[in-house]
Amino acid sequence: MTSYEQWRREFRWNIPDRFNIARACCDRWADGSGRPALLREDGKSLSFDQLQELSCRFANLLLAQGIRAGDRVAILLPQSWEVAVAHLAIYRMGAIAVPLFALFGADAIAYRLADCDARAVVTNAESLPKLPPGPLVILAEGRAPGAIDLHAEMARASPGHRCLDTAADDPALIIYTSGTTGAPKGALHAHRVLLGHLPGVEMPQDLFPQPGDRFWTPADWAWIGGLLDVLLPSLFHGVPVLALRMEKFDPERAFRVIAEHGLRNLFLPPTALRLMRQVPNGRARPHSIAPRSIGSGGETLGAEMLEWGRDAFGVTINEFYGQTECNLTVSSCGALFAPRPGWAGRAVPGHEVAIIDGEIAVKSPDPVMFLRYWNRPEATGQKYRDGWLMTGDAGEIDGEGFLRFLGRADDVITSAGYRIGPAEVEDCLMRHPAVAAAAVVGLPDPLRTEAVAAAIVLRAGEQASEELAHRLRDHVRTRLAGHLYPRHIRFVAELPQTATGKIMRRVLRQDWDKLQ
């Protein structure tokens, strides 16, 4: 394509009636050539041929344990080849994958496993103590009584498995997302969601793929940004992906990894970019670091960050916009038009985006859209209005089609690239014996965009103290996840509420410094 306008004008969806992610991302590349699929930090790689055999063995292992098409199988692992194998095995047999963030605490994991009625969970010894009783446990690392040893059982399983002939609209995965009201909801996606993502990957990655491309992101593959912005689209195009476990983002290591592996395509969330910007002499690296494209999403980058990106990497960082239910619908593309700082970009070809009553909306039907919320028909219905999916985000679009995200209409907190629903954190805090009531908001943070903050009303007889605040942070950190705990805590006598008893989070944000 020579221009964005040409791409938009000539684009047509071609979604077949029958489509399976595993066949598209693995089987068609497994031709005996040894084409690399997954790269490791130690320099070794896993070919598409090996990926196909391992996913077939894993599928047969699951079938032997009674897992059938439509059953939910959770994947609770950090970036590793086992994650890719598990996803492909689940898709090829028609089951439904449920990726879970490896740093989730016990409460967060138990809720999601129960909500989707997961039949099995693939995990490691580190996460084993956080699992509730019930699902079949398959251990990718270590051994435990009652758990299946993944590697031992895969070695005994048959290497042959015929990929199920699934419809493009058949369910493939559930990714949990959070809002401000109620518990986290599972967004159910069909196999076609991968095809729906492709233009939204090609655009921020400057017309991906190109010869020699190889992709990496520090984002966890349990997050839609890691799974469907990087891993699966890369495998679909036959592009190798670096699998790198990084429990806590290390900017120095990131620079080193990019250079050592000759990585050409990157998805770096804004928080990762800000941390990399703090590395001494981070700008003086163009001789060893030469990516072809960098995409970033989840938060807005300013003009200063875009300028730093050009100096540090020699390319324009392309911003994009989306959400779990309908991802990658707006993007910049430096290869076709100049970015506009503060604006996410323009509608990705194939998607129609508009502003309805101040809210960003996407025209339905659209292959990237979710099928429904798992077991929540009412919430699904509320997501749509007159043929449009309402994102719940405020925004504006100018005469040239550039979209600017203005804020979360539903009070979802954007912190370090994660969308955090206050309700889940508030519910966890309320389970602490010292807490009578809690309200969670996001406060401006120069590194994370927003930091989680909690206003807390204590039970009678409890005394406010920094030691109690520390205990409350640990309470959330250990039961939910490290990125969910409140970095700021204020103890208050009462919470601002409307006449109907709804918490006025806007007032809390505005008056935070006045709270005592």
pLDDT in tens, 384-393: 999 999 998 8
Nearest Cα residue to 473 out of 455, 459, 486, 456? 486
175 near 187, Cβ under 8 Å? yes
Q: Give 235's pLDDT tier (boundaries 50, 70, 90).
A: very high
Q: Compare 411 and 189 and report the one with higher pLDDT.
A: 189
pLDDT of residue 412: 75
pLDDT of residue 286: 47
DSSP-derived secondary structure letter, 514: G
Rounded CA separation 277/273 (Å): 6
Rounded CA separation 444/448 (Å): 8
Sign of CA dihedral 254, 255, 258, 264: positive
- Please check the confidence at residue 303 and state whether its pLDDT lies above 90: no
Q: Per mean pLDDT, which range of 170-179, 408-417, 495-504 is the poorest?
A: 495-504
Q: Give 178's pLDDT tier (boundaries 50, 70, 90).
A: low
Q: How many Cβ atoms sit within 10 Å of the Cβ of residue 299? A: 20
Rounded CA separation 471/136 (Å): 33
Q: Give every CB contact of residue 471 below 8 A, 6+ residues apart in sequence.
A: 432, 434
Rounded CA separation 138/135 (Å): 9
Q: Pull the structure tokens for residue 318.
A: 């392309």
- Please check the confidence at residue 496 and state whether its pLDDT lies above 60: yes
pLDDT of residue 445: 86
Burial class of residue 386, CB neighbours in 10 A (0-12, 13-18, 19+): exposed
- Please check the confidence at residue 501 and state whether its pLDDT lies above 60: no
Nearest Cα residue to 486 out of 407, 408, 428? 428
Task: Give percent of the chain above pLDDT 90.
Answer: 70
Rounded CA separation 37/431 (Å): 45
Average pLDDT of the segment spanning 352-376: 96
Phi first, then psi: give them for residue 128, nearest 5 degrees.
Answer: -55, -45
317 near 309, Cβ under 8 Å? yes
Nearest Cα residue to 217 out of 209, 206, 207, 205? 205
Q: For each of the domains in the chain, give its residue range(s) and CATH number, in order of start.
A: 18-166 (3.40.50.12780), 416-514 (3.30.300.30)
Q: Pull the structure tokens for residue 21.
A: 């992610």
- Please check the confidence at residue 410 and state whether its pLDDT lies above 50: yes
Rounded CA separation 23/163 (Å): 7
Q: Compare 490 and 181 and report the one with higher pLDDT.
A: 490
Rounded CA separation 397/343 (Å): 9
Nearest Cα residue to 247 out of 119, 359, 126, 147? 126
Helix axes 422-430, 466-479, angle to 10 degrees: 120
pLDDT of residue 447: 84
Q: Per mean pLDDT, which range of 2-11, 293-302, 483-492 is the poorest?
A: 293-302
Q: Pull the structure tokens for residue 302.
A: 């300013």
Beta-strand relationship, 241-243 and 36-40: parallel
pTM of this structure: 0.86
- Please check the confidence at residue 285 and state whether its pLDDT lies above 70: no
Rounded CA separation 401/416 (Å): 27
pLDDT of residue 288: 65
Average pLDDT of the segment spanning 193-211: 97
Nearest Cα residue to 74 out of 111, 22, 126, 37? 111
Rg (CA), the chain: 23
Q: Compare 87 and 423 and report the one with higher pLDDT.
A: 87
Report the SS3 class of residue 59: helix
State how far the alpha carbon of 273 is from the alpha carbons of 95, 197, 405, 414, in Å.
36, 23, 19, 15
Task: Please state whether the peptide bond connecting residue 365 to the residue before it is cis, i.e. omega within 30 degrees of 0.
Answer: yes
pLDDT of residue 142: 82
Average pLDDT of the segment spanning 459-479: 91
